[in-house]
Amino acid sequence: MKEKIIIGLISLVIPFLVQGQTYSQYFDGADTSAFNSLLINIDTSSSNIWQIGQPQKIIFDTAATFPNAIVTDTSNYYPTNNTSSFSFGVDPQWFGWGILALQWKQKLDMDIDYDGGIIEFSSDTGNTWQNVFNNPYVYNFYGFDTANQDTLISGDYAFSGTDSTWKDIWLCFDLSWLSFSDSLMFRYTLKSDAIDNNKEGWIIDNLISHITIIHTVNEIKQEKYMTAVPNPTTGRINISTKKLDEFHIIEKIELINIEGKLVQKWGISPTKFYVDISNHPNGIYFLNVKTNKSSETFKIVLEQ
Quote the pLDDT of residue 177.
82
Q: CB–CB of 253/287 below 8 Å?
A: yes
| CB contact set of 98 (below 8 Å; sequence gap of 6+) | 19, 20, 174, 175, 211, 212, 213
Quote the pLDDT of residue 222.
75
Quote the pLDDT of residue 15.
32
Listed residue (249, 237, 241) closest to 221, CA to CA:
241
Quote the pLDDT of residue 273.
93
Quote the pLDDT of residue 262.
97
The whole-angstrom separation of Cα 126 and Cα 144 is 26
More confident residue, 161 or 181: 161
More confident residue, 22 or 144: 144
Classify residue 230 as left (phi > 0), alpha (psi -120 to 50) or beta.
beta
Q: Helix (H, G, I), strand (E, B), or coil: what is residue 173?
A: strand
Listed residue (167, 164, 165) closest to 200, CA to CA:
164
pTM of the model: 0.85
pLDDT confidence tier of residue 12, bands split at 50, 70 and 90: very low
pLDDT per position as a tens digit, 164-216: 999 999 999 888 887 656 678 999 999 999 999 999 999 999 999 988 766 55
Q: CB–CB of 44/3 below 8 Å?
A: yes
pLDDT over 80 (residue 123): yes
Quote the pLDDT of residue 236.
95
Cβ atoms within 10 Å of 16's Cβ, excluding its own: 12
Please give the full DSSP string across 185-210, using - where no structure is assigned.
Answer: EEEEEEE--S------EEEEEEEEEE
pLDDT over 80 (residue 303): yes
How far is the CA of 88 from the CAs of 54, 56, 209, 225, in angstroms? 21, 25, 11, 36
Q: Domains of the chain, with CATH numbers?
A: 2-212 (2.60.120.260), 226-302 (2.60.40.3580)
pLDDT per position as a tens digit, 61-82: 999 999 999 999 999 999 999 9
Q: Helix (H, G, I), strand (E, B), or coil: what is residue 267?
A: coil
Q: CB–CB of 228/238 below 8 Å?
A: yes
pLDDT per position as a tens digit, 264-276: 999 999 988 999 9
More confident residue, 247 or 64: 64
Listed residue (181, 23, 33, 140) closest to 90, CA to CA:
23
**Mean pLDDT value across residues 250-257:** 96
The whole-angstrom separation of Cα 86 and Cα 72 is 10
pLDDT per position as a tens digit, 276-291: 999 999 999 999 999 9
